Amino acid sequence: MDFVFEDVTTGPSASGFGRLGDGRSFAFHAHRGELVVEIYRPRMAGPVPLPEDVVATGRRGLSDLDVHDARSLAAAVRDTVAAAAPVR
């Protein structure tokens, strides 16, 4: 799956966003010891996703992840996107 990271902020409040090869976008952030990823449907109406735009979510722990290293963070986001569960 192709990934393009448009923004990655490292550190305890790590966050960022980007696009997948199929046209969907994603965002991630660190929250209470977890990496939280949301994947949005393609061709959203506006620049800010609404709750109904979320098509899949994924979470993983931060305990074994170096949130200060952009490459480690990007790899964890890729893995989390691959394992994301569809939202019902």
2-17 per-position pLDDT tens digit = 889 999 999 999 999 9
The reported pTM is 0.91
Q: Give residue 48's pLDDT.
A: 82
pLDDT tens by residue, 39-88: 999 987 777 888 899 999 999 999 999 999 999 999 999 999 999 999 98
Q: Give residue 1's pLDDT.
A: 64
Yes or no: say if 14 and 75 are a contact pair by the CB < 8 Å rule: no
Yes or no: say if 43 and 71 are a contact pair by the CB < 8 Å rule: no
Q: Give residue 50's pLDDT.
A: 87
